[in-house]
Structure 1
Amino acid sequence: MRLTLFGYVLRTYVRFALGILGGLVLVFVVVDFVDRAKTYTGPGWVTDAAKLYGYKALMAVQQLGPAALLLAAGTTVSALRKQGEVTAIRALTFGPTALYAPVLAFGLLACTGFVVFDEVVATHAGRRVDEITTQRFNRWGDWRFYYTPKQWFRRGDHIFFLRAGSAQEGFADVSIFTLSREFKLQRRLDAARMEWLDGTRWRLTGVVERSFTGEKHTSVKSLESAEYELGIAASAFRIRPGRPEQMRVRELREQIVARRDVGLATKQFELALHNRFAYPLAALPAALLGVGLALRTNRRGHLTAAIVEGLLVAVAMWGLMMVCRTLVLTERLSPPVAAWTPPVLLVLAAAALWMRREGFLHVPRRWLAVR
């Protein structure tokens, strides 16, 4: 009997979850297309737009998945209550666990799937969306912010201005500034080309070296070619352009280390790394919270109330994530705290509802009208 009930509730929840997720993705795609339809022009635009929205739909699955699990949990319990099946479950001496357990089981599976989906599918889909949007429909947005090659780097007392080239092929038209501990300029190297030799040694060609030993003492010399110990390896300059959300975990970790080594900002990359796990895993406590809200006594308008409550929770969590992201970018909050705060709050809310229902937590009725 217990396994039969578990399977029945699980099937009901899965149907609602898949249906709601499909509906949310469809609404997102339609609204986005209507909003941007005038920008899709040119020969073969229909095919290109179809590809674009195919990739956008994949991204939407990852973005809207947690909200779908939350809404599905509430609507599943509400539908069972409306049909009198929750009362029948209680009459058979099965407690709320009979409803929590299937949601918990599928939530664990779905959260794991969202993490893998984001890592393998959504990251690639995001890059393809940027490529099609910029190359085919000439919409650039903030593309330049993420894809313009970095030119300024700092390592120790050296500041590098690398105008062109790469670590593998060598850099062209470079300037290297050496600073004192008091942040005063001691030496400036300008070179037509800079190539890595081994370790932290580099060969500069077409060099103009200026040394500053005082306010009025400057020496200048020109060299056809010279080798310098610059205290930095070629691997430190392998800064990959792109949005951090579109990079896989291994790439994010590499970029965080590389960017930190050369004095570039890493907060956004650290936030993306933590969100790779925190955002999908937030779906689990969100779903359990949806069950707890739907099990409240004296609740009216079951399905409508479940949808409204789920949307309010989703909007509140989305707003909190945006605030946390802003605080990270302005360096007022650490990335781990920003990424994991919404899931932790969902866990606390879901646990409070369960404990209140089981009689372990007393909350004034005017604050939380549940038993």
Structure 2
Amino acid sequence: MRGTLFAYVLRTYLRFALGILLGLVVIFVVVDFVDRAKAYTGPGWVEAAAKLYGYKALMSVQQLGPAALLLAAGTAVSALRKQGEVTAIRALTFGPGALYIPILVCALGACVGLVVFDELVATHAGRRVDEITTQRFNRGGDWRIYYTPKQWFRRGDHIFFLRSGSAQEGFRDVSIFTVSKEFELLRRLDAAEMHSLEGTRWRLSGVVERHFAGEGRTTVRQLESAEYELGVPANVFRIRPGRPEQLRVAELREQIDARKEVGLATRQYELALHNRFAYPMAALPAALLGVGLALRSSRRGHLTAAIIEGLLTAVAMWGLMVVCRTLVLTERLSPFVAAWTPTFLLVLVAGAVWLRREGLLPSPRRWLAAR
């Protein structure tokens, strides 16, 4: 009997979750297309737009998945309650765990699946969306912020201005500034090309070397080619273009380390790394919260109330994530705290709802009356 009930509740929840997710994805795609339809013109635009929205649909699965799991928990339990099945479960002496446990197991599997989906599918889909939008429909938006090659780097007392090229092929038209601890300019190297040798040594071609000795004294010499110890290996300059959310976990870790080496900002990349796990896993306590709200004895209008409560919870969490992201970018909050705060709050609220239902947490009215 217990196994049959477990499977029944699990199937019910899974059916609601898939249906709600499909509905949310369709709504997102339709609304986005209607909003941007004027931008899709030119020969073959229909095929290009179809590919674009195919990739956007894949991205939206990862973005809307946690909301779907939250809404499905409340609506599934509300549907069972409306049909009298929750009362029947109680009559068979099964407690609320008969509803909590199947939904917990299913939501946990779905959260892990969303993490894997994001890592293997959504990251690639995001890059393809940017490529099609900019190359086919010429709508860049903030594309330049993430895809323009980085040119300024700092390592120790050296500041590098690498105008073009790469670590593998060599850099062209470079300037290297050496500064003191007081940030006074000591030396400037201008070179037509810069190629990596062994370790941290580099060969510069077409060099103009200037030394600044203070009090306006400057020495200049020109060299056809010269080797310099610059204290930086070639792999440090392998800064990948693209949005942090479109990089896989290994690439994010690599970029965080590389950016720290050359003095570039890393907070957005650290936030993306933590969110790779924190955002999908927030659906787990959210689903349990949906179950707890749906089981309240004072509940009225089961399905409608479940949808409204789920949407309000999702909007509140989305707003909190936006605020946390802003605080990270303005260096007022650590990426770890910003990523995991919504999940932690959902755990607290879901736990409070469960304790309240079990009579272990007094209501505010009773607490005030006791005072």
TM-score scaled by length of structure 1: 0.98
Amino acid in the other structure paired with 1:138: N
Amino acid in the other structure paired with 2:210: R
1:90-239 mapped onto 2 (5 Å cutoff): 90-239=90-239
Quote the Cα distance in structure 2 between the aligned partners of 1:144 and 1:259: 18
Per the TM alignment, residue 361 of structure 1 is displaced from its structure 2 partner at its CA by 1.7
Aligned to 1:310: 310
Quote the Cα distance in structure 2 between the aligned partners of 1:7 and 1:235: 52
Quote the Cα distance in structure 2 between the aligned partners of 1:195 and 1:246: 30
1:71-90 mapped onto 2 (5 Å cutoff): 71-90=71-90
Aligned to 2:280: 280
Amino acid in the other structure paired with 2:99: L
Quote the Cα distance in structure 2 between the aligned partners of 1:21 and 1:168: 44
Amino acid in the other structure paired with 2:186: Q
Quote the Cα distance in structure 1 between the aligned partners of 2:308 and 2:208: 68
1:234-253 mapped onto 2 (5 Å cutoff): 234-253=234-253
Quote the Cα distance in structure 2 between the aligned partners of 1:354 and 1:301: 20
Aligned to 1:25: 25
SS of 1:222's partner is strand
Aligned to 1:9: 9
Deviations 1:267-326 (A, max 9, x none): 000000000000000010000000001111121110000000000000000000000000
Name stretches of at least 5 consecutive residues in structure 1 with no aligned partner. none
Amino acid in the other structure paired with 2:295: L
Per the TM alignment, residue 364 of structure 1 is displaced from its structure 2 partner at its CA by 1.6
Per the TM alignment, residue 366 of structure 1 is displaced from its structure 2 partner at its CA by 8.1
Does residue 300 of the first structure (1) align with residue 300 of the second (2)? yes
Quote the Cα distance in structure 1 between the aligned partners of 2:73 and 2:366: 25
Name stretches of at least 5 consecutive residues in structure 2 with no aligned partner. none
Amino acid in the other structure paired with 2:262: V
Quote the Cα distance in structure 1 between the aligned partners of 2:12 and 2:192: 68
4+ residue segments displaced more than 3 Å? none
Give the % identical residues.
Answer: 81
SS of 1:239's partner is coil
Deviations 1:253-275 (A, max 9, x none): 00000000000000000000000
Aligned to 1:261: 261
Amino acid in the other structure paired with 2:9: V
Per the TM alignment, residue 216 of structure 1 is displaced from its structure 2 partner at its CA by 1.7
Quote the Cα distance in structure 2 between the aligned partners of 1:47 and 1:161: 42
Aligned residues: 368
Deviations 1:97-143 (A, max 9, x none): 00101100101100010000000000000000001101111111000
Quote the Cα distance in structure 1 between the aligned partners of 2:23 and 2:304: 16
Deviations 1:41-70 (A, max 9, x none): 111111111110000000000000000000
Aligned to 1:66: 66
TM-score scaled by length of structure 2: 0.98
Per the TM alignment, residue 217 of structure 1 is displaced from its structure 2 partner at its CA by 1.2
Q: What is the aligned-residue RMSD (CA, Å)?
A: 1.1
Quote the Cα distance in structure 2 between the aligned partners of 1:178 and 1:165: 21
